[in-house]
Amino acid sequence: MISKTMEQALNKQVNRELYSAYLYLSMSAYFENTTLKGFAHWLRVQAKEEQGHALKLYDFLIERNGRVALLDIEAPKAKWSSAGKVFEEVYAHEQKVTDMINGLVDLAIKEKDHASFEMLQWFVKEQVEEEKNAGDILAEIICVGDHPGHLFCLDHKLAKRE
């Protein structure tokens, strides 16, 4: 059985993961209205991945006989001034999610909830990858210049994400 404190915290993280999916889908929609369709594709795949993260937490709550409480999802912004600005936000957002996951790990330790601690280790490792991917894309944008014409090769690369 999961504690009410841990249950509430994990439900909040389900909401945060769904917000992440919404945010990345909004960013994808932004790129769909530009010539950078590879960026749109990469972010749409990322949105789906975030939904998977939410479902991983959702399923864990159910496995632990917890109650899932879906909360309102905040509407994300819809406009950015450039690809670089989008990926600055992606990178900052992933750093924020890392802080949230670390907070959940700290709570699991405080609650002596070994099952939640173990499950959250997957998210700890995932966030290392998420931050690296976002940071690498941002670094490439900075390197080539934040102009659609300069981003053609990166756009082509991002379009290949499965």
For the segment 74-86, the average pLDDT, to the nearest whole number, is 97
Taking 90 as the threshold, does the pLDDT of residue 130 lie above it? yes
Which long-range contacts does 62-67 make (Cβ < 8 Å, 24+ apart)? 64/1, 64/2, 64/7, 64/115, 64/116, 65/1, 65/2, 66/2, 66/6, 66/7, 66/10, 67/7
For the segment 84-98, the average pLDDT, to the nearest whole number, is 98
| 18-54 pLDDT, tens digit each | 999 999 999 999 999 999 999 999 999 999 999 999 9
Per the structure, the complete domain to which residue 45 belongs is given by 4-158
What does the mean pLDDT of the chain come to?
97
Taking 90 as the threshold, does the pLDDT of residue 111 lie above it? yes
CATH code of 63's domain: 1.20.1260.10
Query: Which band of pLDDT confidence, cut at 50, 70 and 90, is reported for residue 133?
Result: very high
Into how many domains does the chain fold? Answer: 1
Phi, psi of 159 (to 5 degrees): -65, -20
pTM of the predicted structure, to 2 decimals: 0.96
